[in-house]
Structures are given as C-alpha cells and as structure tokens.
Amino acid sequence: MSNEPIEQQTVLQRILDDINLIMCLCLVVPTVFYTLWGVMEVATIPLGK
C-alpha cells in the first residue's frame, strides 16, 4: 500500500474535469430555460377568434 498522500480534488475541480457532465449541462440548461420555456410561451398564446 502506497504511503503517498492522495491528492484531494475539490467538487468544482471534479465537475470541471468531467467532460461528459459538462456536455450534459450544456444541453440541458438552455434546453429547459430557453427552448422549452420559450416554446411553451408561444404554444400557450390563445388562438384568435
């Protein structure tokens, strides 16, 4: 068993280094707050009579 100290990574560093998580965040966040919310706003405009 090695006696070398194990370097602790901060949570932020682990998030920054996880490229698949970064990709997921990049797809999900704007999809929810920009696209889906925006589409719902347009879709819920009452139809003219």
Helices and strands in the chain, H and E counts: 3, 0
For another protein, the closer CB: 1 or 47: 47
Q: How far is the CB of 49 from another protein (least distance, A)?
A: 16
User: Which of 27, 47, 48, 49 contacts another protein by CB under 8 A?
Assistant: 27
The answer to whether the CB of 7 falls within 8 A of the CB of 13 is no
Residues 22 and 8: their CA atoms lie apart, in Å, by 21
Q: How far is the CB of 18 from another protein (least distance, A)?
A: 11
User: Which of 1, 11, 12, 47 contacts another protein by CB under 8 A?
Assistant: 12
